[in-house]
Amino acid sequence: MDTTDFALRGDYITLDALLKATGWASSGGDAKAAIADGRAVVNGEAETRRGRKLRAGDVVEFDGHRAAIQAAG
């Protein structure tokens, strides 16, 4: 699984917003449903909170994709 670096624009991004920003979910509704189904993994653990704040150093896996969250700047 290849890892994509995702640069933050602020201090954090929510999990649902990350899925939309990366194109892994086509809409907010799709992101919400996928997260509720337990398809998102943050730092090795399933995450079902769509509002989970992701900060620099977090790693998200979703449907065969991986993103490493990077600090802004």
pLDDT digits (tens, 9 = 90+) for 32-66: 999 999 999 999 999 999 999 999 999 999 999 99
Q: Is the pLDDT of residue 73 over 90?
A: no
CA-CA distance, 8 to 20, in Å (whole number)? Answer: 14
pLDDT digits (tens, 9 = 90+) for 59-68: 999 999 999 9
Task: Give the predicted TM-score (pTM) of the model.
Answer: 0.93
Tally of helices (H runs) and strands (E runs) in the chain: 2, 7
- Sequence-ordered list of residues with C-beta below 8 angstroms from that of 41, at least 6 positions apart, any chain: 47, 60, 61, 62
pLDDT digits (tens, 9 = 90+) for 7-27: 999 999 999 999 999 999 999
- CATH 3.40.50.920 applies to domain 2-70: no
